């Protein structure tokens, strides 16, 4: 058979409904006959609100507005709508919604914020439709709506089915929705809190085109772009070598970039290597030793921004029986999602079509509108599945360059980044250095606390109102931000991904100096903050104590002399997570066996997804704390691919024991909060086991760690 | 440019490409088989894994000229409708987060289990250590491979 790309894509497009790839998900578990296609359901369905349509066949269509990057919001959001609707989950079809400012608020994925933002909206969307269906049924039956109940897509009277939802949608959709509808008592939840399978499983494990990089449009060209080192601009370009590569149709210099263009990708990878580009400085061209020098200078600077000041720090430190001072440093990090950046753009006169993996479709639209001078109403953004994000896809640099190139070429174009492009053209986790100081009195009470953060394009590298603020009489939090041409951006659990490690390690140092158990020290500080708070407190003390106590209990904290343990707790993105790392000694060397986590994220909507985020966050936090480094030389990272940029692998993951504290609060997000505590728990366990305090990341490159042969093993 | 006859998922395909074109890009750009993923391009992450004569192989560094008459299997051809034991286990354990690395993971796991149908957990870890998962689904991958071995 002669391969024909066009036929293949036609079939794929018909089978999947183009980009709005629907999925009759019950086919996965219990094969049923699919009666209607997605197109048929969509064309017949009655619209109830932005999230929900129901067809006369009883098929329920739920739109998930937020970008899906592995947090499985495409399953958990519809679960909430379906719960309040009392839908038959096997008849639910889920679609990723395109960007729509009128229908949806906050259509982005970031800050672990989607769940707290949308929880009530989604419940109301389902509950309102259910209310209307029941009203329609009551009218048909000529009975009071109070006599009717609902279950699995049916309206019942005295426990007997009267109508399927499909029979009621025409009538119900004509009724006026009330402003307020009753929501379920959480004890009646049937879908929320159950391990519903990821609705995209089958498409993922059979290799369907879901991701931005899989997108293809007849007539489009592919492009790859050579971007400049940070702080440099193009002086000259010799593109003769690139142009001579078979399959390259064009080389375009634009906006300090050089794009190679062709029909397929491989010639572009080759051609990019043939580009001879001379750069010249356009500002500071920095290397890692510059950053080390900057950190040293700014830690001594007299010009820090005071973020929070309580009491009289100077006197407290003057009168201290003991002062502990420690510095902690972290490197830049690349986000490195497994799917490199890419985007499709088609500029047609004053209209633009954008399709691809973005965490912020609205920002992509705004920046494209700004760059091209096209009204944003003329720009559509469709969201593909994202092969990871970690914050990198909150930016729109990879979208606007595709739009700009499409305009220049006057063609639809898909720009693909190679792994090297992704790593060297990043927007990194900022490098930061902290200096912590604690003043202790004779009894080991912390009477003074100082933190100065120096970040490189970090903004505020402190979280001045977070713990331990509120629990110490005399406290000073300062920040200094150095402006660098190296672009930085939110990286999963921005700032706290390192601050938590540094702070929780430092508190371990304080506990040691105060001769206190690390868990007791934290609980004492929190007690103090509860009874006699100092200044503002921006965290819930009871919830923080709740996870501390649960983690201590579940990990048998301090109960087994053969297990060296490290403790860490952090509040970020509205959720609370405490962790304990367990190390045993074997032949004089430490073996990391287990991490126990206690999480309070309120109601757990989707336990499978929650476990994924807690475990994944721990693996992520552990890998980057222990193994991953990124250093710069003349405005470029030295690490350009996974051979030198070391990510954690399967054999390096210990057992992870996950627990939740049911505090009864509405759900908060979990994409980030489990990551921050991990590095600290492990570093504190390493100290407990070896007496070595690791104050910089990655651990394996620190001299204190050089003769420690840490093994990681489960069981 | 040269013509290549490739055997992929039990079918014959003809492509006219440069000799050095990696199998990955032949699959993705010329045949529309985009289930095989591009991620590192240097045989470090395993997102591009396919079977070549049953061996789990990094398709991103295998030039089409080196494929010859080998039988290539991609994620699209692993089973007719996702009913391979590894795919079923992937659903049962609900492994994926972002899902981008998963096709490569599944292909590696399927080739491994064919050679070693009754692996220990340590053997599973050794085999699967070739594949990166940036989301950190390693626990579930290990569980799913073990389940697939049990259910085969």
**Nearest residue on chain A to B93, alpha-carbon basis:** A197
For residue A473, is it within any domain? yes
In a domain, A46, yes or no: yes
CATH code for position B22: 3.10.20.30
State the average pLDDT over residues A412-427.
97
pLDDT above 70 (res A29) = no
Q: Does residue A307 lie in a domain region?
A: no
Residues A385 and A436 in one domain: no
CATH number at residue B122: 1.10.150.120
End residue of a domain, out of B18, B46, B77? B77
Compute the residue count for chain A. 715
Q: Are residues B7 and B72 in the same domain?
A: yes
Would the CB atoms of A653 and B136 count as touching at under 8 Å? yes
Q: Say which residue the tokens 């927007």 belong to.
A: A427
Cβ contact A265–B38 (<8 Å) = yes
Residue A19 has pLDDT above 70, yes or no: no
Whether residues B41 and A337 touch (CB distance < 8 A) is answered with no
Query: So what's the pLDDT on residue A714?
Result: 85
Same domain flag for A269 and A360: yes
Q: Are residues A455 and A560 in the same domain?
A: yes
Residues of A in contact with B98 (CB under 8 A): 69-70, 337-339, 385-389
Asked if residue A222 has pLDDT above 60, the reply is yes
Tens of pLDDT along A469-507? Answer: 999 999 999 999 999 999 999 999 999 999 999 999 999
Q: Which residue of B has its CA nearest to A416?
A: B38
Domain tally, chain A: 3
* In A142-216, alpha helices (H): 165-172, 201-205
d(CA A565, CA A689) in angstroms, rounded, equals: 8
Residues B71 and B125 in one domain: no
**Looking at the domain assignment, is residue A74 inside a domain?**
yes
Closest Cβ–Cβ partner in B75, B101, B136 for A620? B136
- Would you call B97 and A72 a contact, using CB atoms and an 8 Å cutoff? yes
In a domain, A385, yes or no: yes
> Looking at the domain assignment, is residue A319 inside a domain?
no
Q: What is the pLDDT of residues A517-534, one digit of tens each?
A: 999 999 999 999 999 999
pLDDT at A35: 74
The residue among A162, A179, A205 that closes a domain is A205
Looking at the structure, do residues A93 and A122 belong to the same domain, yes or no? yes
CA angle A15, A45, A95 (to 5 degrees): 50
What is the distance between the alpha carbons of residues A511 and A515, in angstroms, rounded to a whole number?
6
Contact B45 A201 (CB under 8 A): no
If asked whether residues B65 and B97 sit together in one domain, one would say: no
* Residue A604, pLDDT above cutoff 50: yes
User: Which of A2, A205, A388 to mutate: most B Cβ within 10 Å?
Assistant: A205
Write out the residue range of the structural domain in which residue B136 sits. Answer: 85-151
Look at residues A178, A205, A232 and tell me which one is the last residue of a structural domain.
Answer: A205
Cβ contacts of B121 on chain A, cutoff 8 Å: 714
pLDDT surpassing 50 at residue B1: yes
Domain co-membership, B73 together with B89: no
Question: CB A207 to CB B76 under 8 A?
Answer: yes
pTM of the complete model: 0.95
**E strands within A357-490?**
379-383, 413-416, 432-440, 446-456, 474-482
Whether residues A388 and B135 touch (CB distance < 8 A) is answered with yes
Indicate whether A404 and A438 sit together in one domain: no
Q: How far apart are the first and last CA of chain B?
A: 43
Measured between CA atoms, the residue of chain B closest to residue A713 is: B122
What whole-number distance in Å separates Cα of residue A525 and Cα of residue A518? 11
Q: Are residues A478 and A573 in the same domain?
A: yes
Confidence of residue A34 (pLDDT cuts 50, 70, 90): low
Assess whether B72 and B101 both reside in one domain. no
Q: pLDDT by residue (tens digit) across B57-66?
A: 999 999 999 9
Q: Specify whether B59 is located in the same domain as B114.
A: no
What residues of B are in contact with residue A69 (Cβ under 8 Å)? 98
Would you say residue A73 lies in a domain? yes
Shared domain check, B91 and B59: no
pLDDT (average), residues A693-710: 96
pLDDT surpasses 50 at A5? no
CATH code: domain of residue A92: 3.30.365.10
Radius of gyration for the alpha carbons in chain A, expressed in angstroms and rounded: 28
User: Which of A8, A69, A641 lies nearest to residue B42, judging by beta carbons?
Assistant: A641
Residue A660 has pLDDT above 50, yes or no: yes
Mean pLDDT of B60-79: 98
Residue A221 belongs to what domain range?
212-283+341-416
Tally of structural domains, chain B: 2
Tens of pLDDT, residues B82-121? 999 999 999 999 999 999 999 999 999 999 999 999 999 9
* Spatial separation of the C-alpha atoms in residues B46 and A647, rounded to whole Å: 13
Express each pLDDT in A155-177 by its tens digit: 999 999 999 999 999 999 999 99
Mean pLDDT of A214-239: 98
Residue A619 and residue A704 in one domain: yes
d(CA A667, CA A670): 9
- A375 shares its domain with A505: no
Q: Is residue A3 part of a domain?
A: no
Please state which of the ranges A22-26, A363-367, A505-509 shows the lowest mean pLDDT.
A22-26
Q: Do A204 and B133 touch (CB under 8 A)?
A: no
Q: How far is B57 from chain A (nearest CA, A)?
A: 17
CA distances in angstroms from A162 to A130, A150, A175, B57, listed in the order given: 15, 10, 19, 57
> Searching chain A, which residue's CA lies closest to the CA of residue B36?
A207
Say if residue B14 is in the same domain as residue B69: yes
Domain's final residue, options A205, A220, A238: A205
Q: Which member of B1, B28, B98 has the closest CB to residue A70?
A: B98
Q: Look over chain A and give the mean of its residue pLDDT values, rounded to a whole number.
A: 94
- pLDDT exceeds 60 at position A358: yes
């Amino acid at each position: 058979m002669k391969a024909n790309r066009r036929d293949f894509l036609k079939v794929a497009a018909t089978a999947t409904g183009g980009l709005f790839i629907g999925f009759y998900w019950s086919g996965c578990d219990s094969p049923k006959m699919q009666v209607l296609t997605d197109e048929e359901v969509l064309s017949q369905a009655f619209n109830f609100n932005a999230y929900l349509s129901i067809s006369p066949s009883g098929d329920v269509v739920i739109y998930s507005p937020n970008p899906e990057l592995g947090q499985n919001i495409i399953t958990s959001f519809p679960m909430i709508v379906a719960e309040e609707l009392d839908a038959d989950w096997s008849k639910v079809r889920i679609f990723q919604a395109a960007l729509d400012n009128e229908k949806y608020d906050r259509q982005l994925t970031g800050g672990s914020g989607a769940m707290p933002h949308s929880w009530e909206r989604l419940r109301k969307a389902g509950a309102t439709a259910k209310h209307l269906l029941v009203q329609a049924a009551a009218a048909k039956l000529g009975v009071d709506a109070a006599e009717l109940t609902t279950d699995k897509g049916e309206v019942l009277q005295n426990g007997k089915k009267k109508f399927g939802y499909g029979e009621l949608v025409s009538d119900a959709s004509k009724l006026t929705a009330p402003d307020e509808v009753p929501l379920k008592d959480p004890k009646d939840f049937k879908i929320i809190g159950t391990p519903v399978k990821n609705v995209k499983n089958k498409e993922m494990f059979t290799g369907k085109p879901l991701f931005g990089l899989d997108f293809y449009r007849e007539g489009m060209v592919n492009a790859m772009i050579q971007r400049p080192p940070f702080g440099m601009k193009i002086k000259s370009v010799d593109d003769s070598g690139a142009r001579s590569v078979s399959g390259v149709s064009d080389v375009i210099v634009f906006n300090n970039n050089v794009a190679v263009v062709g029909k397929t990708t491989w010639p572009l990878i080759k051609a990019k290597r043939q580009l001879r580009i001379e750069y010249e400085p356009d500002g500071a061209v920095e290397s890692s030793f510059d950053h080390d020098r900057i950190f040293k200078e700014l830690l001594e600077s007299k010009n820090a921004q005071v973020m929070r000041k309580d009491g009289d720090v100077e006197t407290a430190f003057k009168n201290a029986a003991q002062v502990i001072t420690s510095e902690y440093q972290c490197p830049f990090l690349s986000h490195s999602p497994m799917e490199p950046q890419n985007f499709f753009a088609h500029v047609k006169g004053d209209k633009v079509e954008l399709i691809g993996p973005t965490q912020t479709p609205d920002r992509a639209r705004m920046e494209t509108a700004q760059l091209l001078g096209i009204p944003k109403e003329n720009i559509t953004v469709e969201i593909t599945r994202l092969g990871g994000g970690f914050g990198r896809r909150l930016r729109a640099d990879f979208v606007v360059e595709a739009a700009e190139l499409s305009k220049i070429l006057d063609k639809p174009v898909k720009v693909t980044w190679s792994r090297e492009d992704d790593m060297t053209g990043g927007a990194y986790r900022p490098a930061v250095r902290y200096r912590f100081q604690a003043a202790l009195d004779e009894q080991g009470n912390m009477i003074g606390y100082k933190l100065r953060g120096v970040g490189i394009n970090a903004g505020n590298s402190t979280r001045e109102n977070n713990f331990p603020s509120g629990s110490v009489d005399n406290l000073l939090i300062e920040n200094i931000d150095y402006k660098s041409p190296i672009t930085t951006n939110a990286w999963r659990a921005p700032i706290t991904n390192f601050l938590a490690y540094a702070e929780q390690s430092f508190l371990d140092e304080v506990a040691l100096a105060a001769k206190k158990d690390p868990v007791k020290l934290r609980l004492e500080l929190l007690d103090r903050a509860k009874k006699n708070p100092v200044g503002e407190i921006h965290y819930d003390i009871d919830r923080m104590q709740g996870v501390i106590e649960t983690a201590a209990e579940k990990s048998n904290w301090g109960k087994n002399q053969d297990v060296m343990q490290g403790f860490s707790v952090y509040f970020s993105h509205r959720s609370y997570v405490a962790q304990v790392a367990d190390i045993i000694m074997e032949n004089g060397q430490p073996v990391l066996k287990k991490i126990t986590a206690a999480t309070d994220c309120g109601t757990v909507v989707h336990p499978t997804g929650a476990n994924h985020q807690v475990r994944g966050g721990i693996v992520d936090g552990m890998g980057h704390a222990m193994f991953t480094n990124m250093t710069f030389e003349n405005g470029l990272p030295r690490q350009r691919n996974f051979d030198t940029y070391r990510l954690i692998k399967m054999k390096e993951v210990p057992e992870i024991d996950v627990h939740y504290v049911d505090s009864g609060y509405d759900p908060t997000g979990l994409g980030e909060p489990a990551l921050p505590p991990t590095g600290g728990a492990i570093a504190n366990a390493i100290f407990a086991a070896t007496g070595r305090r690791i104050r910089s990341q990655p651990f394996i490159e620190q001299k204190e760690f050089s003769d420690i042969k840490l093994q990681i093993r489960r069981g | 440019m040269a013509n290549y006859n490739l055997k992929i998922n039990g079918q014959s395909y003809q492509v006219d490409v440069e000799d050095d074109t990696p199998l990955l890009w032949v699959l993705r750009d010329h045949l529309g088989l985009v289930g095989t993923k591009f991620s590192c391009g240097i045989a470090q992450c395993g997102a591009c894994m396919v079977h070549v004569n049953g061996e789990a192989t990094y398709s991103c560094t295998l030039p089409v000229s080196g494929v010859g008459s080998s039988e290539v299997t991609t994620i699209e051809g692993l089973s007719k409708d996702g009913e391979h034991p590894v795919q079923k286990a992937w659903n049962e354990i609900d492994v994926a987060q972002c899902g981008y690395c998963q096709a490569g993971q599944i292909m590696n796991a399927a080739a491994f289990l064919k050679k070693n149908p009754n692996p220990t957990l340590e053997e599973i870890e050794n085999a699967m250590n070739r594949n990166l998962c940036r989301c950190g689904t390693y626990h579930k991958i290990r569980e799913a491979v073990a389940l697939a071995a049990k259910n085969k």
